C-alpha cells in the first residue's frame, strides 16, 4: 500500500527573488515491518520513512547512506491535526529486532496517551548536566562562604573532587540511582567510614540544590534511600588529674626553656650537616602558642575560635568572649578566672589575641608545636591511649563539667551547642544522678533489712 502525501520544500531564492514554496508528491510506503521487509529497503537519493501498517506512528527511516533507524511519530498533548508531530528515535535497525523496536514504540505511544511528551523528556534529559558538570556549579553557587563555613566548603569540594567525580561523575544528575550511591558508600566506607558518611551529606546537599533550581524534580534525592550511615566511634579523649599535671609542667618548661631541637623522623641523620652546638639546639616557642593551648584547656572553645579571636571580642569587665562568628554563628563564651588571667597577661601585638607573623591576620595553626609539646607531656599515645588532639581539649572541658554534676544543659550552654543531642554524648560521664540513684537503692534495701520482722 502506498500513501501519497504532499511535502513542502523551501527553495533558497537567488538574490532579489522572494522565497518560493512549491509542493511535490513523494511516496511513503506503508508495510508490515519485519526483518525481511527491513532488509529489502534500499537507500534513495533522499531520506524516507516506511511506516508500519499495524502500529500507527511506528516506522523505519532510511538514509541515503544506507543507515536505517527505528522511529516513532506522535502528536503530543490532546493530539489533533493542529498539533505538530514529534519524532523520536528508538534505535539503529541493526542493533535491535523489529519485534523489540515495535515493543518500545508501543511503550512510548502508551506514555503519549497518558499525556507525556517523550521527545521533550529526552531533550530535557540530554540538557541535564552530569554530576561532574553540576559539581562545579554547586561549589561556585552554594558550597562557599557565606552560605557555608570555609572548613565545610573545603570538605564538600574534597568529597566531590576525590570521591564522587572519579566514580559517578560521568552520570547525568537524574540518571543516578540509589544503588549507585550505595555501592560507592560501601566502597569508600571499607577504609574510611567517616569520609563515606560525609560524602553522603555532600551529595544530599548537591541534589537538594539541583531540585531548587529545577535541574531535577524537586524531592528527587537518590541519597535518601541509598544506604545506612556507617557506624563510627566518637573519639572522647579526656585528661586525668596526673595527665593535666604533666601538661602543666610541660607548658611551663617550654615557656622557660623552649623545645629541644630534634631531627625529623623521616630524615637521614647522616644528611643533617652543620647542626648547631648542643647547648644551642633549642627552639623558642611563641608565648602566644602557649597561651592558645591554655585557653583551649580553660574555655572549651574550638581551635579556630581561639586562633581567630580578636581583642575587640574580649570583654574583661563582664568576663566574656563575644565571638562574631563560630561554627554555630554568633556566640558568647563565659570566661573563668584562669582564662581571664591568661588573656590579661598577654601582650597586644595586633588585632588578634593569638598573634602570628602578620599582625593583621590570625595565626594559621599551632598543630606542629602542639605535637612536640604533647610528646614532652607524654600525651602522644606512647602509653597506649589515643594521642591527645587539640580538639580533645573541648571534650576534656565538657567531661570535667559533667563529671562535677553540673548537668548536660549547663555544659551544653557553656560549649555553645545548638542541639541538646550534641551534649548528650557526655551523658555517661554524669556521675551525680547515678550516684544519687544508687544511694537511694542502697538506702531502701538497708532500711528493709533493718526493719523488725513483725511476723515472728
pLDDT band at 432 (very low <50, low <70, confident <90, very high): low
Whether 230 is in a domain gets the answer no
Q: Tell me whether strands 282-283 and 259-260 are parallel, antiparallel or unpaired.
A: antiparallel
248 and 380 in a single domain? The answer is: yes
The CB-based long-range contact list for 106-109 (8 Å cut-off, 24+ gap) reads: 106/55, 106/58, 108/72, 108/74, 109/55, 109/57, 109/58, 109/72, 109/74
Residue 137 has a pLDDT of 93
Whether 448 is in a domain gets the answer no
Q: Over the stretch 115-174, which tens digit does the pLDDT of each residue have? A: 888 887 777 666 789 999 999 999 999 888 878 888 889 999 999 999 999 999 999 998
Of 96, 125, 154, which closes a domain?
125
Q: 293: domain CATH number?
A: 1.10.443.10
Q: What is the rounded average pLDDT of the residues 47-63?
A: 92
Whether 445 is in a domain gets the answer no
Whether 220 is in a domain gets the answer no
What's the CA gap between 6 and 165, in Å, rounded?
51
Q: Over the stretch 178-212, which tens digit does the pLDDT of each residue have? A: 999 999 999 999 999 999 999 999 999 999 999 99
Whether 364 is in a domain gets the answer yes
162 and 55 in a single domain? The answer is: no
Q: Over the stretch 75-117, which tens digit does the pLDDT of each residue have? A: 887 667 778 888 899 999 999 999 999 999 999 999 888 888 8
Cβ atoms of 76 and 42 within 8 Å: the answer is no
292 and 381 in a single domain? The answer is: yes
Whether 223 is in a domain gets the answer no
Residue 308 has a pLDDT of 93
Of 84, 101, 125, which closes a domain?
125
92 and 135 in a single domain? The answer is: no
The pTM for the full model equals: 0.57
156 and 253 in a single domain? The answer is: no
Cβ atoms of 423 and 417 within 8 Å: the answer is yes
319: which 3 cell numbers?
568576663
Q: Over the stretch 372-393, which tens digit does the pLDDT of each residue have? A: 999 999 999 888 889 999 999 9
Whether 425 shows a pLDDT value over 70: the answer reads no
Higher-pLDDT residue of 1, 245: 245
413 and 296 in a single domain? The answer is: yes
262 and 195 in a single domain? The answer is: no
Q: 64: domain CATH number?
A: 3.30.160.390
Taken in order 21, 27, 28, 30, the sign of the CA dihedral is positive
Whether 13 is in a domain gets the answer no
**Residue 361, CA distances (Å) to 353, 358, 364 in order:** 11, 5, 8
In terms of residue numbers, what domain contains 45?
A: 26-125
Query: How many domains are there within the chain?
Result: 3
388 and 335 in a single domain? The answer is: yes
151 and 101 in a single domain? The answer is: no
259 and 376 in a single domain? The answer is: yes
179 and 290 in a single domain? The answer is: no
Of 191, 212, 233, which closes a domain?
212
Give me the chain's average pLDDT, please.
82
80 and 197 in a single domain? The answer is: no
Whether 440 is in a domain gets the answer no
Amino acid at each position: 500500500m502506498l500513501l501519497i502525501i504532499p511535502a513542502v520544500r523551501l527553495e533558497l531564492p537567488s538574490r532579489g527573488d522572494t522565497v518560493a514554496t512549491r509542493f511535490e508528491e513523494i511516496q511513503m510506503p506503508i508495510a508490515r515491518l519485519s526483518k525481511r521487509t527491513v532488509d529489502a529497503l534500499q537507500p534513495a537519493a533522499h531520506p524516507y520513512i516506511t511506516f508500519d501498517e499495524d502500529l500507527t506512528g511506528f516506522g523505519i527511516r532510511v538514509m541515503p547512506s544506507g543507515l536505517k533507524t527505528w522511529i516513532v511519530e506522535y502528536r503530543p498533548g490532546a493530539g489533533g491535526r493542529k498539533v505538530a508531530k514529534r519524532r523520536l528515535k528508538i534505535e539503529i535497525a541493526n542493533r535491535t529486532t523489529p519485534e523489540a523496536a515495535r515493543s518500545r514504540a508501543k511503550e512510548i505511544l502508551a506514555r503519549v496517551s497518558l499525556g507525556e511528551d517523550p521527545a521533550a523528556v529526552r531533550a530535557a534529559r540530554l540538557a541535564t548536566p552530569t554530576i561532574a558538570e553540576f559539581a562545579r556549579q554547586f561549589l561556585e553557587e552554594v558550597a562557599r562562604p557565606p552560605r557555608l563555613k570555609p572548613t565545610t566548603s573545603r570538605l564538600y569540594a574534597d568529597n566531590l573532587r576525590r570521591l564522587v567525580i572519579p566514580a559517578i561523575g560521568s552520570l547525568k544528575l537524574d540518571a543516578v540511582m540509589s544503588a549507585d550511591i550505595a555501592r560507592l558508600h560501601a566502597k569508600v566506607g571499607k577504609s574510611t567510614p567517616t569520609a563515606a558518611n560525609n560524602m553522603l551529606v555532600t551529595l544530599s546537599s548537591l541534589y537538594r540544590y539541583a531540585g531548587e533550581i529545577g535541574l531535577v524534580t524537586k524531592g528527587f534525592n537518590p541519597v535518601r534511600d541509598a544506604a545506612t550511615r556507617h557506624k563510627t566511634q566518637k573519639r572522647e579523649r579526656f585528661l586525668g588529674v596526673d595527665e593535666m599535671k604533666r601538661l602543666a609542667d610541660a607548658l611551663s618548661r617550654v615557656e622557660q626553656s623552649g623545645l629541644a631541637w630534634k631531627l625529623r623522623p623521616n630524615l637521614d641523620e647522616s644528611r643533617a650537616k652543620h647542626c648547631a652546638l648542643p647547648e644551642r639546639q633549642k627552639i623558642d616557642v611563641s608565648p602566644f602558642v602557649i597561651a592558645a593551648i591554655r585557653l583551649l584547656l580553660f574555655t572549651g572553645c574550638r581551635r579556630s575560635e581561639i586562633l581567630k579571636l580578636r581583642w575587640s571580642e574580649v570583654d574583661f569587665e563582664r568576663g566574656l568572649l563575644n565571638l562574631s562568628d563560630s561554627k554555630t554563628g554568633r556566640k558568647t563564651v563565659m570566661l573563668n578566672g584562669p582564662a581571664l588571667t591568661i588573656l590579661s597577661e598577654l601582650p597586644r601585638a595586633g588585632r588578634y589575641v593569638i598573634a602570628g607573623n602578620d599582625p593583621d591576620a590570625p595565626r594559621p595553626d599551632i598543630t606542629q608545636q602542639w605535637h612536640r609539646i604533647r610528646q614532652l607531656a607524654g600525651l602522644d599515645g606512647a602509653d597506649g591511649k589515643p594521642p591527645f588532639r587539640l580538639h580533645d581539649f573541648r571534650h576534656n572541658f565538657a567531661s570535667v563539667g559533667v563529671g562535677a554534676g553540673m548537668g548536660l544543659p549547663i555544659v551544653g550552654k557553656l560549649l555553645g551547642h545548638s542541639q541538646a543531642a550534641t551534649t548528650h554524648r557526655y551523658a555517661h560521664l554524669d556521675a551525680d544522678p547515678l550516684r544519687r540513684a544508687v544511694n537511694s537503692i542502697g538506702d531502701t534495701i538497708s532500711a528493709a533489712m533493718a526493719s523488725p520482722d513483725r511476723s515472728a
